[in-house]
Amino acid sequence: MSGGVDSAVAAALLTEQGHDVIGLTMNLWPNWLPPADEASRACCGVSAIEDARAVARQLGIRHYVLNLRDEFERTVIDYFCDEYARGRTPNPCIACNQAVKFRVLLEKVDGLGCDLLATGHYARVAHDDVTGRYLLLRAADPRKDQSYVLYALTQAHLARLCFPVGEHPKSKVRDLARRFGLPVADKPDSQEICFVPAGHYGDLVAARRPEAARPGPIVDRAGAVLGAHNGIARYTVGQRRGLGLAGESPHYVIDIDAQRNAVIVGGPSDLLRQRVLLDRVNWIVPPPPPDPGVTVRVRHAAADVPAALRLRADGRVDVEFETPQRAAAPGQAVTFYHGDRVLGGGIIERE
């Protein structure tokens, strides 16, 4: 229970169905950050814990707070900063799901003697009676679907998970919260990066990885110096604003070379990628993927695009897009789909 409306409604639905529900809230707020206030909309601060506790009281269920600050800092915040210091573009939600929510939290659930772990994610879990395998499916509401950040789930995870709000549109979830009389019914959704409540994420990376804040050159593809940057942590592939470069044609960040401490720029066509190589690939269903009919998503809010997946002997996967994709950067995740089913996914690497 994050303190938000989605997990609150998930708990309420399961309680209404007659399950013995225990509310768990993770205290993830780093000690070195100031306390999160209501305006920050952070999902892991003191105010969020109080909101979750109020919901539990309303539902008449037990509620526990788990101190997972150290684990969160080591596996999510440090990972986030390390990736940006390497010139990559990480997704902290995927790291949190892998390392905290569906590893450490499942261990805590086992310790409490619970059968299942439910969250407020917008996705669905089903069981294929023919193959005996669990399936991860998109949410019923495509606008809120979070299956992109769940591709790393395994069969062992899916056997223990349920996503009660994944069957409902967000508008109905709000209506259900009001029907249940939940105090968070009209609470705004949390922001994307919970541990960056204000300012720019680059400030956090610069403070924790000073090497990523060193000034360096902005160069074109031929190596000619066009300007200077104020730390690679403050730039991402696809960025146009804030480069401070003159010229009639627009410049975009097309690559970041951490070894040279250089930001490479080019034109809009230089951002297009026909293919990418993925490492750290997880398959929810056994490979090889079905052909045709596979689509992929390169970013959470991006549209699916048809693609061909080719497995390498070392487990990595080549993804060839039907149409070139803009700003597909090292460190980003690519999730594979076949219709509503999530097949798996991996992380873009440099070749």
- The set of catalytic residues is 96, 194
How far apart are alpha carbons 333 and 91 in whole angstroms?
7
How far apart are alpha carbons 281 and 285 in whole angstroms?
12
Nearest CA-CA partner of 207 in 328, 345, 80, 99: 80
Residue-by-residue DSSP string for 111-179: HTT-S-EE---S-EEEEETTTTEEEEE--SSTTT--GGGGTT--HHHHTTEE-GGGGS-HHHHHHHHHH
337 bridge partner residues: 295, 342
Total residue count of the chain as it appears in this document: 351
Contact (Cβ atoms closer than 8 angstroms) between residue 337 and residue 274: no
How far apart are alpha carbons 215 and 231 in whole angstroms?
5
Tokens of 6: 């989605």
Cβ of 314: how many Cβ atoms within 10 Å? 6
Cβ of 44: how many Cβ atoms within 10 Å? 22
Exposure string for 177-210, b = 16+ CB within 10 A, e = fewer: beebebebbebeebeeebbbbeeebbebbbebbe
How far apart are alpha carbons 30 and 24 in whole angstroms?
18
